[in-house]
A and B are shown apart, each in its own frame.
Chain A
Amino acid sequence: MNDILLEIRGLRASVEDKEILKGVDLTIRRGETHAVMGPNGAGKSTLSAVLAGKENFTVTAGSVTFLGQDLLKMSPEERSWAGIFLSFQYPVEISGVSITNFMKTAVNSHRQAKGLEPMKAGEFLKLMREKMAFVQMKPEFAKREVNVGFSGGEKKRNEIFQMAMLDPTLSILDETDSGLDVDALRIVASGVNALRSPEKSVIVITHYQRLLDYIVPDFVHVLKDGRIVKSAGRELVGEIEEKGYDSIC
């Protein structure tokens, strides 16, 4: 059982009294890549927000355990320290805070949570340069304010850069393909693929097949009206693309 990373059981969640998730079950083991697909309004983004700990959603029933711990009792920062990373569909602009300062604070918060000293400045800058090159971000971005004035592709590359810096055990990619041209999509996908390992898992949340051509999932789930209505292997992607969501259940 040790290889179970994330276990979601009967998860129900609401926002402002409207129930969005109506009983979600999902088990993710180490090394697996899962795609959660579904039409607009199915609850895909709510699922990722609830897993990351966004406070305007109320969990009304069910449980989520991550490496045996009760995830729902943890703050967003504790979830990050535990190894969960959410790549945002709409990365937030933080004016006045440089990427370097932002990342340094994040990396050192992780280290502090593990009882480690802050990373040495030289070591940190070297790591940053390396990971920025990894997603083809120009070095001058280090000084830019987080996401401010970034194009859609630059924002998503910045997400994958942060993912590479924090080296999470479970990465959740929420509609990472939205707003990306083919070149940016390739860069982002190859970044994600390079971070896959037998120890680590990825959840790709997407409406379209496009991203899954590059990040090939082991399992595919269809989320519809707050429930997972179908789960299968990667062949389901083609079936959805061909027949649409309406033909499935």
Chain B
Amino acid sequence: MIPSVDREAHMETARTVTVASGDSLQRVFVLRNADNVSLPVDRLVLEAGSMADVTIVVMPGVSCDLSLTVDLRGNDARCSLQGVCLCPGDEKVSLSVLLNHNMPSCTSSQLFKSIAGGSSRVNFSGRIVVARGAQKTDATQESHSLLLSDSAKVDSKPQLEIYADDVKCSHGSTIGRLNEDEQFYMRSRGITHHEAKVLQMISFLSPVFAGIPESAVRDQILEETEAAVRRM
């Protein structure tokens, strides 16, 4: 079943996708160049028992300001959001996610990874709001970043607002550099410094893609990502 896309009267420009009860939606959005700097959806509404799995990939050379709101509007809805930002140059990428747990027993997970080099800027802000009645909520959010240069900058702002008292919520955020001991170990086995960094970056990103089922789409995204990482 194809989810409906409609413009809601009170949000003139917002594009909302509603996933009907029991349906599931899986999408991968790849922003490849400067002509392509927005998501085709601003808001996801998940009805009872529905499922959404959305992956966002921001390729090198793309500056963008993305925001996505998810409303879990029925019991037992499940939402998984993940993304990768590759920013080797002077990109400015901002991503904000608002995840509203409105109903009980919903699950959400978020995993975002960015690699920032050059003089790029990455801002991630992720807010999870658990409404008063949304008991048995299970919400996780992780954002991890690698800095490749001294002038790149990453801001990560996780926020949790919890108004229910029987929930499981967690968030984790790290910003780090490529580990030099690992690089030396690989180089001592004859792996070039560049190749060692490529292996490190790919392994850093790979959990984001782990959830995409094996398919031609997945292969193509992995291939494109690896090619982009090799040029970083």
Binding site for B on A (CB under 8 A): 52-55, 75-77, 79-81, 85-86, 88, 91-92, 94-97, 101-102, 105-106, 109-110, 113, 162, 166
Query: Which A residues are in CB contact (< 8 Å) with B185?
Result: 88, 91-92, 94
Q: Is B181 a contact partner of A92 (Cβ separation < 8 A)?
A: yes
Q: Is A86 a contact partner of B206 (Cβ separation < 8 A)?
A: no
* C-alpha gap A23/B204 in the complex (Å): 42
Q: Is A77 a contact partner of B192 (Cβ separation < 8 A)?
A: yes
Q: 24 A-B Cβ contacts within 8 A?
A: A53-B188, A55-B180, A75-B187, A76-B184, A76-B187, A77-B187, A88-B185, A91-B185, A92-B182, A92-B184, A94-B182, A94-B185, A96-B203, A96-B204, A96-B207, A97-B199, A101-B199, A102-B191, A105-B186, A105-B199, A106-B186, A106-B191, A109-B191, A110-B190
In addition to A53-B188, A80-B187, A102-B189, 8 A-B residue pairs with Cβ atoms within 8 Å of each other are A52-B184, A77-B191, A85-B188, A94-B182, A94-B185, A94-B199, A94-B203, A166-B189
* C-alpha gap A102/B182 in the complex (Å): 12
Q: Mark B149-186, 1 if CB is under 8 A from A, else 0.
A: 00000000000000000000000000000001110111
Binding site for A on B (CB under 8 A): 180-182, 184-193, 195, 199-200, 202-204, 206-207
* C-alpha gap A162/B203 in the complex (Å): 20
Q: Is A105 a contact partner of B195 (Cβ separation < 8 A)?
A: yes
- What is the predominant secondary structure among interface residues of chain B facing chain A? helix
Q: A76-B188, A162-B189 are in contact. Are A109 and B195 (CB under 8 A)?
A: yes
Query: Which B residues are in CB contact (< 8 Å) with A75?
Result: 187, 193
Q: Is B188 a contact partner of A52 (Cβ separation < 8 A)?
A: yes
* C-alpha gap A216/B204 in the complex (Å): 43
* C-alpha gap A109/B190 in the complex (Å): 6
* C-alpha gap A55/B204 in the complex (Å): 24
* C-alpha gap A55/B178 in the complex (Å): 15
Q: Is B190 a contact partner of A96 (Cβ separation < 8 A)?
A: no
CB distance from A15 to the nearest CB of B (A): 14
CB distance from B150 to the nearest CB of A (A): 18
Query: Which B residues are in CB contact (< 8 Å) with A109?
Result: 190-192, 195
Query: Which B residues are in CB contact (< 8 Å) with A162?
Result: 189
Q: Is B186 a contact partner of A94 (Cβ separation < 8 A)?
A: yes
* C-alpha gap A85/B185 in the complex (Å): 11
* C-alpha gap A95/B189 in the complex (Å): 17
* C-alpha gap A88/B189 in the complex (Å): 11
* C-alpha gap A81/B189 in the complex (Å): 8
In chain A, what residue has the closest Cβ to B202? A96
Q: List 3 A-B pairs, minimum CB-CB distance, nearest first.
A: A96-B203, A80-B190, A76-B187
Name the residue among A76, A106, A113, A162 with the largest chain B CB count within 10 angstroms. Answer: A76
Contact of A80 among B188, B200, B202, B203 (CB under 8 A): B188
* C-alpha gap A77/B189 in the complex (Å): 7
Contact of A106 among B189, B200, B202, B206 (CB under 8 A): B189
Query: Which B residues are in CB contact (< 8 Å) with A52?
Result: 184, 188
CB distance from A131 to the nearest CB of B (A): 14
Q: Is B186 a contact partner of A102 (Cβ separation < 8 A)?
A: yes
Name the residue among B180, B185, B188, B207 with the largest chain A CB count within 10 angstroms. Answer: B188
Q: A94-B203, A96-B204, A105-B195 are in contact. Are A113 and B190 (CB under 8 A)?
A: yes
